[in-house]
A and B are shown apart, each in its own frame.
Chain A
């Protein structure tokens, strides 16, 4: 096996490692940005990591009346997100996973984690678990058309749903990204990402008030290592989705060749891009309020419209 052959698998491993290790840091960064903007000192960006370590040390707890679904959901959440991290061309398109990095598959794998958590929420048999699951699935169901339509819009210029192909197409032909279709699709995808990751204005990750909880209500019964996994999974999802957004909107720097240096550069740029995006999101969240649950469809309808416009625009601008 030559050096070039080893770079690919190494890049995949590096991506996964970066996402796993960086996700809590991203969360910490965002909280820190928020705290500073709100005039607080903030716990520092490593706080999520400290929380996770603390939780991992606690006794694993199985609430009475829950079943295997409850226990496996956190594992599945982290595992599916890790697979997504491996699949996506975050740092390099020239990985062995690149040929399989199908955009639809990525979306589906992320949805798999959501479904697993929702089932876990129902498995507890508590009112909160059920409520969280119900709301989460409602939002997820409504987000789906937006995401897929945005995917559709982004795939048209590349003629493929392969992420690596889309990203390398974006690198070689930057005009695509600035086209109306590209912008509209990215905007639609951004809204969808907010909804998928449970950020404001769709859900408030910091709340524990019954009436406003969505994601938190679902995982209310988790404790100890299980909770750590759930938290880690949520952070990873955010990182991966922001990474996806970054890769699609600003693919510059992602390695297209199997060279170790390019991959390292790509990795650094990935961290920077995601950190910037996260900071921007955190800054924006300071000025947003959470929407009522039944106002969320309006937001999602708006993003759906953007995605639809993106598709038609991409048709009318490229289809001659």
Chain B
């Protein structure tokens, strides 16, 4: 593969969305608020990400990691996997956006701002995934916070402002801790004789991690786990999640829950690789498993008393991120495969769930669970999509999360008594969440149509992304097909030691 092509493939996922964002910003006169062919141009940038991801998925497992701009951008199998996740989820979310904006009756400036921010957000996520430098990774992730803050506060209502404030303050504080951790790691690297230029360069650090001072790495990794954990929705800095996801526009909530949290978690995984090489896997295992169990317990407890379906989905995200964290804690190759499957599967399923949830809010004017009844009868297509998405999120076959949770359980029980105990506790908590989520979904979906109104049609435009997401999730759970090599290679990066 030529160097130019590699550079192009690595640049496009960042540059494409940035260009799109700039184009939207430059367009002074949006013809109509939403809809029309112009609205669909927004699909170009996520498709760029997806296509670059696909192209890299072919080359990277075969030829090893690709780099560009003097090792500023670097795509290994893990990055490519995440790029695919971003591309897939973003394509669905962007396809759902015109419909969302049309329903919101947003005025042209709002629509423009929405598009500008969403595409910039995509660029930031791609950058975070492709960054070889841990500092750049951090910058990109903090950039996503800032960009999404406006998207969370998109509607400027009291609730939106409140959610945005909490989001920015909690996430910024958390991510600042991650930066402190990064600084300490840099200090350790410099003291280990690594040059200034490559002291934050991930491949260099990972290769020479065994020389780092254990005590400093321990402190730094702890801070990073707390910090990126905040962004990934792990306890203790998790509390912004339900507020932000509940107030953000549905496609943005889908993006945040579906990929942003896992992008942050992948960042964390990069540090974990370094820490494991420096300290052995025990430290991060205890840390991640502890946080994962805490998060699972919180999510289960809060799901049990939940009365709002968007917040319910947010807590379900916490639950899934905790399972992903648990998989990372287990850390065997099988667990790593499970984690990656979980990330992509959860992204797709949660996107569908959030988009469907947005439609439900629009249909009933509320997100209270108690106010939604007989959804399957009232809006069959929407109800079915929501039901299937929840089924996928509950970890039932044929969706990818089933395969992932199966792999996680097998890996966890094989990784020693402590992991097995943690996993047993996790399974009990997952069961609680399952029941809570199931009861609430059943309440919303089942029963006769309220008021005997005729069924509401969802329409092809709104329905297509939902169907595509579900199909993708199911296909991934059935067979990984051409992605198998990529999956194995990516798993080797985080669990191959």
Is A–B contact present in the complex under a CB 8 A cutoff?
Answer: no
Residues of chain B whose beta carbon lies under 8 Å from any beta carbon of chain A: none
Residues of chain A whose beta carbon lies under 8 Å from any beta carbon of chain B: none
